[in-house]
Amino acid sequence: MGRRFARPGIALAGGAAKGLAHIGVLKALEEAGIRPACIAGTSAGSLVGGLYAAGLSVAEMERVVSELDGWEFSKLLDVTWAKGSLVAGKAVARFLGELVGDVRIEDLSIPFIAVAVDINSGRGHFFDRGPLVDAIRASISIPGIFEPFAANGSYLVDGGVRLNLPLRALDQFRPTIRIGVGLTGSQWFNAEWTQGEIKRDHGPDKDPDRNLWQRVKDRFSGDRDSADQEEDEDDEPPGLPFLLARTFNTFTAEAERLEVAQTRPHLFINLDVSEIELWEFWRGVEAAELGYSQSQPLIAQFLRDRTIAGRIRRLFSS
């Protein structure tokens, strides 16, 4: 329990490998004297938050991610032939079981909620009871990547489909202080909307008058100089990995922005982890360091502001 607040609650957002930055935030909170009294997590947030609630220390989680290099991570990708999915998720569940055993959520030292969504009905689930590993496995089931988790008479997928930053899930715990940790703080995202005319771009591969055959000939022609090749490469449309990552980041950034506006947490830490790609789980140490370095000054400022506000209240109440 934190020495500064009676019941601080923390909501940890999803973000695949980016979510390992939550480890660093928990470390910074502990150093500031804030130990969460309750935790809600979505996807990667449920992974880190669930392990922490189960008693794994920050140091233990740092050790786990430091040992998770590319080769070790590949062992967790048990390819499946299930329709619509790439990874079965059984290897991940075994890995989590080795860390926490068969503990149930209601028996954790810190009250915890994992967020998942019923893909058949769209109903959201706040899991506060049952096997912890099952709840985490359901919460991290990114559609199209992890096989949906069969439970509760349906199929459950990643909670980020509806609630990537589960601040409202903390309500049942009635925390005195609510802290949200997002993963969409990168500078590229622009939340504004503009109105105006659409004007088509005409580059080497965007000219509507050039047919497919001509573009293929230009692409593989040996007569083009390097300067022309570099210019064309700059004009290439985004590739699939970039499109998928930016699509995920954009809709989660918008969803988190709305959730923060509606729930108004006392502290919102929005991390810029744009240099970590969604699939780069072997960069967990870097992600945790980013979470630590970025959250430290925000937590310190929050505590200073609370101290000043408390002094002012005491001054006027005396």
What residues are annotated to the active site?
43, 158
Residue 317 to residue 315: CA distance in whole angstroms: 6
Q: Which of 152, 94, 161 is nearest to 127 (CA)?
A: 152
Helix (H, G, I), strand (E, B) or coil at 132: helix
Of all helices (H) and strands (E), which one includes residue 277?
A: none
DSSP letters for 65-126: HHH--HHHHHTT--B--STT-SB--HHHHHHHHHHHTT-BGGGSSS-EEEEEEETTT--EEE
Q: Which of 88, 60, 62 is nearest to 75 (CA)?
A: 88
Residue 18 to residue 9: CA distance in whole angstroms: 21
Q: What are phi and psi of 267, to 5 degrees?
A: -145, 125
Residue 144 to residue 300: CA distance in whole angstroms: 40
Angle at which helices 58-67 and 284-317 pack, to 10 degrees?
160
